Amino acid sequence: MIGIVVVSHSRPLAEAAVALALQMVHGPAPQVVIAAGLDQDTLGTNALEVKRAIESIDSREGVLVLMDLGSAVLSTELALDLVDPGLKERVVLTPAPLVEGLVAAVVHAAGGASAAEVAHEAALGLLGKEAHLGIAVESALDSSLPQPEATAYFTINLSHGLHARPAARLVGEVKRFDAHLLLTNLTTGKGPVPAASLSRVAALGAARGHELELTGAGRQAKEAVEAVLALAGRNFDEIDQPAPPPALERSGRGPLPASPGIAVGPVVQAGRGTMVIPAESASDPTVEWRQLREALAATRTDISRARARVAREAGESEAAILDAHLALLDDDDIIAASRRAIEEGTGAARAWADVLGGAAAALANLDDSYLNARAADIQGVGDQVLRHLLGLSGPTVDRRGILVAADLTPSDTADLDRSLVMGIVTAYGSPTSHSVILARSLSIPAVVGAGRAVLDLAEGTTLVLDGKTGDLLIDPPSDVVESYLRRAEAIDRDRGEALARSRHPARTSDGTVIEVAANIGSLADAYRAHEVGADGVGLLRTEFLFLHRPDPPDSEEQEAVYRDIAQALGGRRLTIRTVDVGGDKPLRYLPVAAEANPFLGLRGIRLGLAQPEIMIDQLRAILGVARTHPVSVMFPMVSVVDELLEARRLLEAVADEQGGIPPGFKVGMMVEVPAAALNARAFAPHVDFFSIGTNDLTQYTLAAERGNESVAALADPLDPAVLALIDRVCRVAASTEVRVAVCGEVASDPVAIPLLLGLGVNELSMAVPAIPAVKDTVRALSMAESNKRAALALTLSSAAAVRALP
C-alpha cells in the first residue's frame, strides 16, 4: 500500500487531520507521516523535514504528498529536488485540499489503490493547487476499439446480475491495466460500453444467465481480459445473496414492508430545500466545471464519512454498500459527459442532472426489479451532488418522530440520528434499495413506496408503521395506537430481556451448557459480539486483511489486528480461520490460473500449502497473540489427512521459532466437504475440535448452490443426508474427546438448533445479532428431547419432513 506525507504549516492541524482521516478506515490503514510546523507551536514549513518524511515512508507502491498552502507547496518541490532521483519518480504531489483530500487518500490507499489513483481521488476536492502543479484529472472514454487484440466471453451467475457492487469491482479491476476494454451484452444486444465506466457497465442490464463479450486493445489488453475473466469466474468477489423473499414484494399499491419493527410517533417531514435546477447556460464553463468538481469532492467526503459510521455500527459487509456509490463519483464516462456538456455551455447543475438522469433511466427501463432499485441508488448519489451544487442540505431531523421523505440515499440513512428517528416512511423507493438495507442493519423500522400523498402529511400527525407487514396507519384511533404500542413494547422487552440474559451461559433445562459464539470479520464485529454476550468467537474470517490490496499483510500487521480483536473479547476465546481464498476469492499478489470450477479448485488450505509463505506469516501472527490471549487456529477446506498434517508441520515449525506452542492453544479444522465428515475418525487424533461449515457442506453434499434460484430449494442443511454427515462427525468426536462446533447459518435456525444439540454439537457460532435469541432457544430445550428429535430426523426422507416435525 502507498505511503502518505502531510505537509502543513501547523503541526497540530496536521495531527488533527490525520487523526480524522484514520478514523475513516476499518482494518489496515496506510502509513501517514507528518512534516509540519517548525516545532509543535511555531508555524512554518521545512524542506529538509519534508525530504526526511518522504524518505522515511518510501514504498515501492509510491508516496503521495498532500500540502496545505503557499510555502508548503514550495518546500515540497524543493524537497523533491533533494531526494534520490529514483525515489522522486515514485512521489506524486496532489493539489487536493488538506482535510478532504487526506480523508479520500487514506480511504482509497487502504483499499489498495495506486499512488496515481489515490492522487486522482484526493484531487477531486478543491482545485486551488491544481494550476500550480499542472495536473489534469479527467479524460473522456471512447466506445470503440481501433483493433481488438483480445476477446473473451463469460456468463453472469449472480442472483441480481451485474449490479452496482460487482460492477464497481469489475471497473476497479479494469483500471489496473493499461488497456481499453469494452463490454457487450450479447443476450440483449446492448453495448458495447467502456468497461471502465461504472454507470455504462451497470446499464448493460446484465442479469443472471446473460452472456457478455469482452474485447480489449492496448499494451496490457490480454492481461486485462484474463483478469476480468478470473473476476467473473469467482462471481466478482460477491457473497451472492438470493433474491428477497416474496413477502417483501407485496402485491397491489401502497406501502411495502422494508425494515422490520414497529414505530409510533409524529410525522417529521424531511427538512431539505426544494431541488430546482436552473436552466440558464454556463456564464463561465471554467467556473461551472470547478463547482461540479467541488460538489463531487464534498459528496465523496459525505459518503466516506457515512461508510465509516456504518462500518462501526453495523459492520463491514453493510458498509461495502457505499463503495459502489463512491465508485460512481469516479465514473470517467459520467464525469467526461458532464464536462463536455459544461464546455458546450450547459450549467453545472443541469449538465450533471441530465447525465445522471440518463444513466438512471437506462437501469429503470430494464425488466428487472433489482436493477430498477439500482437506478434509484444512482439517482440518489446524483441528488447528493446536486444538493452541494445548489447549496441545499440533506434531510435534517431536529426532533423525535417518524421521518417522512420522498426517498433517502444510503448516506442520508447512515447519517440519521437514531435517537431521534423512530422510523422511516418514503413516498417512493424499493425494498431492495441500498438505503433500505442500511435501515435494516441499523434496526430502524421502515416502509417504502407509500405514495406521493405522504409528503403532504402535516408535521406532528400521528403515524403507526409496521416494517415487517408494511402496515402504515395515519392518525389512527387511540385504541389502535395503544395496541401497536403494546406490541412494540413487547418486542423491545423481549429483545432487552434476551440481551440481558445473553451475558449468562446458554444452559439447557437439564443442565448441558452450549457455547454460543460469533462469526465476525472485523474489530467492530468483535466489540459488538462482546456487547451481546457472545461466549467467544467461533470464526474470525481473516480475508478482510488480505483482499483488495497489492501485497499481503506481514506478520506484524496481522498480529496487531488479531491482538486488538482478542482484547475486545475481554478474555473469551478467539478462533482464527487461516485465510480462505483461492480460485473463487483470489489475491492480486497471488495469481491463480483461471479454473473451470473454482469451488473445486485451488482454495483454502490447498492454496495455503501451495504458497506456504502466506500461511507461515499468518501462523506467526496467530501464535504471537496466543501467548497472551486464549486463541485457536482453524484450517479451512480440509479434504484429506495429509493436508492437515502438512499444515500442522508448518504450525509446529513456526512455534519452535517462538519457543513452542503456547499453553491453552487449540488446533481445529473446518468440516465443509463430505470427505472430511466421512473420514472424521482419521482426522480426530490431530485436532482439538471440528467446526462444521454447514453452508458449504450442504452445497457439496447436494450439488446445489444456494445462490442459484433454480436449485436453491435443494440446498437445505436439514436434509437427512447432511444431518447424517453431522451425526458421523459428532459420534467420532464423542468417542475421542474432540469438540464439535457448527458455524454455518443453520446454527441460528430455531428449527435446527434442537437437532444439532441432539446430534452432539457443543458450540453454535453465528452472526452477532442472532446470539441473544439463540441463547434463549437453547435454554428452552432439554437434551433428552433433543436427542430423540435428532434420532427421528435421521430416519426421515427429506428436509421438508424434518422441518415438519412437531
Residue 540's SS3 state is strand
Please give the Cα distance from 121 to 137 (Å, whole number). Answer: 9
> Is the CB of residue 665 less than 8 Å from the CB of residue 626?
yes
Which of 264-273, 313-322, 516-525 is the most confident on average?
Answer: 516-525
Please give the Cα distance from 422 to 256 (Å, whole number). Answer: 18
Read off the pLDDT of each residue in 388-399 and give the average, rounded to a whole number. 75
What is the domain class of 508-803 according to CATH?
A: alpha beta
pLDDT at residue 298 above 70?
Answer: yes
Read off the pLDDT of each residue in 158-185 and give the average, rounded to a whole number. 79
Please give the Cα distance from 70 to 36 (Å, whole number). Answer: 13
If 0-12 CB within 10 Å is exposed, 13-18 middle and 19+ buried, where does residue 480 land?
middle
Read off the pLDDT of each residue in 121-149 and give the average, rounded to a whole number. 50
HEC sequence for 328-380: HCCCHHHHHHHHHHHHCCECHHHHHHHHHHHHHHHHHCCCCHHHHHHHHHHHH
pLDDT at residue 713 above 70?
Answer: no
In the numeric block, which cell numbers belong to residue 116?
A: 496515481
Residues carrying CATH 3.30.1340.10, the chain: 150-237
pLDDT at position 129 is 42
Which of 108-117, 339-348, 371-380 is the most confident on average?
Answer: 339-348
pLDDT at residue 131 above 70?
Answer: no
What is the domain class of 150-237 according to CATH?
A: alpha beta
Give phi and psi for 39, each to the nearest 5: -160, -165
pLDDT at residue 270 above 80?
Answer: no
Nearest in space to 691 (alpha carbons), one of 663, 716, 719, 666: 666
Please state whether the predicted TM-score (pTM) of the whole model is above 0.85.
Answer: no
> Is the CB of residue 191 less than 8 Å from the CB of residue 182?
yes
Please give the Cα distance from 248 to 429 (Å, whole number). Answer: 13
More confident residue, 622 or 348: 622
pLDDT at residue 455 above 80?
Answer: yes
pLDDT at position 251 is 34
pLDDT at residue 696 above 50?
Answer: yes
Residues carrying CATH 3.50.30.10, the chain: 247-270+396-490
Residues 717-757 have pLDDT tens digits of 999 999 999 999 999 999 999 999 999 778 988 999 999 99
Please give the Cα distance from 706 to 718 (Å, whole number). Answer: 14
Residues carrying CATH 3.40.50.510, the chain: 3-133
Superfamily of domain 285-390: PtsI, HPr-binding domain (1.10.274.10)
pLDDT band at 492 (very low <50, low <70, confident <90, very high): confident
pLDDT at residue 314 above 70?
Answer: no
Residues carrying CATH 1.10.274.10, the chain: 285-390
Active-site residue (options: 434, 530, 629, 730): 434
In the numeric block, which cell numbers belong to residue 7?
A: 505537509
Q: How many other CB atoms sit within 10 Å of the CB of residue 315?
A: 21
Its CATH architecture, for the domain 3-133, is: 3-Layer(aba) Sandwich (3.40)
In the numeric block, which cell numbers belong to residue 193?
A: 460500453
Which of 205-214, 264-273, 397-406, 748-757 is the most confident on average?
Answer: 748-757
- Residues 670-687 as b/e (b if ≥16 CB within 10 A, e otherwise) read bbbbbebbebbeebbeeb
Nearest in space to 446 (alpha carbons), one of 431, 461, 434: 431
pLDDT at position 372 is 54
pLDDT at residue 568 above 90?
Answer: yes
Read off the pLDDT of each residue in 413-434 and give the average, rounded to a whole number. 81
325 is catalytic: no
pLDDT band at 785 (very low <50, low <70, confident <90, very high): very high
The fold adopted by the segment(s) 247-270+396-490 is Glucose Oxidase; domain 1 (3.50.30)
Nearest in space to 53 (alpha carbons), one of 61, 45, 41: 45
pLDDT band at 548 (very low <50, low <70, confident <90, very high): low
Tell me the average pLDDT of the chain.
Answer: 82
730 is catalytic: no
